[in-house]
Amino acid sequence: MAHAPDASAAAPADALGEFELIARHFQRPAARAVLGVGDDCALLQPVAGQQWAVSTDMLVEGRHFLAGTDPRRLGHKALAVNLSDLAAMGAQPHAFLLALALPAADPAWLREFAAGLFALADEHGIELVGGDTTRGPLNLCLTVLGLVPAGAALRRDAARAGDELWVSGVPGEARLALGHLRGEWALEPAALEPVLARLERPTPRVALGLALRGIAHAAIDVSDGLLGDLGHVLRASGVGAEVLADALPRGRVLAEQPEARRRACQLAGGDDYELLFTAPAARRAQVLDAAAGCGVQVSRIGSMGGEPGLRLLDAAGRSIDTGFPSFDHFATP
Ligand code: ADP
Ligand code: MG
């Protein structure tokens, strides 16, 4: 997009021009799109009987990732968080767009960023079909398009009283790593390494989302904290829920933490990109088969129904205060 040129921002001699940058780092032959990167628009062929699942997520330096973050990991994470939204709808990844503001066209940074991005894209058969590139503070905005058979998407408003509540993986590990990076607590290297990988290289649960179509009722990905994201499902579906705090998976590292820290990470930690979903109790075996089929751990952590709102219970059935805020960019601290 051409706007008023910024005369003060002269490019360094070795920097790439905008079109050279796109051609070198982001243009690859179109595999499935009718027309990919290079024209005014990409062209995608609608598929009979399928709906488009479309989502955008923005990553801003200093807000979603720290300045100096390894570019390969950033390329992975930028796409992973977007693929996670497709997973949470049960959509098959198809194509994506990349809008990029860069302070400078640094070829080494771009090479690493593109390597991280395309490695994950190729793993999921999703194709980059366009975008926008401009100079500015580092900011990445991806738009993903997925396909889902008409009516089969896993929507937030589809939870029903009597459903069981499930979560994939081990929510809370990413927050545990973030607390270490922020100096809130200190983890030993052997503890830090696996949870840091969860923060920096999250695994979008795409295969699980696809396998849960026709089995689960509602799904959401845990990006802002388990209780907060569950709250979105409760409001959209008009049901209540009971969550069993001690049924939450711990993994080795969370299990070693003091209870208050562990619970705060599990219940209110963001950035895990695990799937939180509901399914009828009669489909419990199908849920377990679906998860086993894609090699993902799932845990049954509660049930939907009862009074409206969210009740958190300990192992003895006593109510626990749920006063954990979920992450909100505009909430005053
Ligand atoms: P326009 O001026 O029509 O917006 P641009 O000059 O911005 O077009 O982009 C030229 C082509 O390169 C378009 O096909 C656009 O989708 C693509 N493109 C621009 N930036 C990126 C990027 N970061 N990743 C992928 N494709 C890009
Ligand atoms: Mg443009």
The residue whose C-alpha atom lies closest to atom 24 belonging to ligand 1 is 131
Q: Note the pLDDT of residue 327.
A: 56
CA distance 164 to 222: 17
Residue 96 burial (CB count, 10 A): 26
| Count of CB atoms situated within 10 Å of the CB of 161 | 13
pLDDT of residue 321: 81
Please give the number of the atom of ligand 1 that sits closest to the Cα of 39: 14
Q: Which residue minimizes the CA distance to atom 3 of ligand 1?
A: 40
Residue ranges of the chain assigned to CATH 3.30.1330.10 = 18-149
> CB–CB of 79/120 below 8 Å?
yes
Query: Which residue's alpha carbon is nearest to atom 22 within ligand 1?
Result: 131
H-helix or E-strand spanning residue 301: strand 298-304
Average pLDDT over every residue of 56-85: 94
Cβ neighbours of residue 156 closer than 8 Å, sequence gap 6 or more: 218, 219, 220, 232, 233, 236, 237
Q: pLDDT, tens digit, for every residue of 114-123?
A: 999 999 999 9
pLDDT recorded at residue 8: 43
What pLDDT, on a 0 to 100 scale, did the predictor assign at position 17? 85
Tokens of 233: 């499902």
Q: Whose CA is nearest to atom 20 of ligand 1?
A: 132
Mutation test of ligand 1: which of 19, 22, 118 has the most ligand atoms closer than 8 Å to its C-beta? 22
Q: What is the largest CA-CA distance in the chain?
A: 68
Taking the mean position of all CA atoms in its chain, how far away is CA 227? 16
Residue 273 pLDDT more than 90? yes
Separation CA 84–CA 49 (nearest Å): 23
The CATH homologous superfamily for domain 156-313 is PurM-like C-terminal domain (3.90.650.10)
- Lowest-confidence region among 67-76, 180-189, 251-260, 316-325: 316-325
Which of 196-200, 289-293, 329-333 tops mean pLDDT?
Answer: 289-293
Distance 43 CA to ligand 1 centre (A): 13
Which residue has the least CA distance to atom 12 on ligand 1?
38
User: For residue 228, how far is its CA from the centre of ligand 1 (angstroms)?
Assistant: 36
Q: Write the pLDDT tens digit of every residue in 110-169.
A: 999 999 999 999 999 999 999 999 999 999 999 999 999 999 999 999 999 999 999 999
Asked if residue 10 has pLDDT above 90, the reply is no
Where does 46-121 show beta strands of DSSP type E? 50-60, 92-102
Query: How high is the pLDDT of residue 13?
Result: 43
Closest ligand to C-alpha of residue 101 is 1
Among all ligands shown, which has an atom nearest to the Cα of 33? 1
- Between CA 300 and CA 206 the distance in angstroms is 19
Ligand 2 centroid from CA 3, angstroms: 10
d(CA 24, CA 17): 10
> Which atom from ligand 1 is nearest to the alpha carbon of 128?
25
Place of tokens 């709906």: 51
**Of 30-39, 205-214, 277-286, 306-315, where does mean pLDDT reach its minimum?**
306-315
CB 217 within 8 A of CB 163: yes
Q: What is the mean pLDDT of residues 92-107?
A: 96
pLDDT band at 66 (very low <50, low <70, confident <90, very high): confident
Distance from residue 97's CA to the centre of ligand 2 (Å)? 11
Confidence of residue 237 (pLDDT cuts 50, 70, 90): very high
Average pLDDT over residues 204-232: 97
Domain 18-149 CATH class label = alpha beta
Q: Find all residues with CB under 8 Å of 235, minimum gap 6, and list them.
A: none
Averaged over 185-191, what is the pLDDT?
97
Cα of 37 to ligand 1 centre, how many Å?
Answer: 7
Residues with CB under 6 A from ligand 1: 1, 22, 26, 37-40, 98, 100, 128, 130-133
The predicted structure's pLDDT at residue 333:
41
Q: Where in the chain is the domain with CATH 3.90.650.10?
A: 156-313
> Which helix (H) or strand (E) segment is 113 a member of?
helix 107-124
Q: Distance from the CA of 206 to the center of ligand 1, in angstroms? A: 27
Ligand 2 centre from 27 Cα, in Å? 14
Q: What's the order of all strands across the beta sheet hosting 319-320?
A: 218-222, 274-280, 163-168, 298-304, 240-244, 309-313, 319-320
Ligand positioned closest to the Cα atom of 40 = 1
The per-residue pLDDT of the chain, averaged, comes to 92
Structure token digits, residue 15? 């920097």
Neighbours of 72 (CB within 10 A): 19
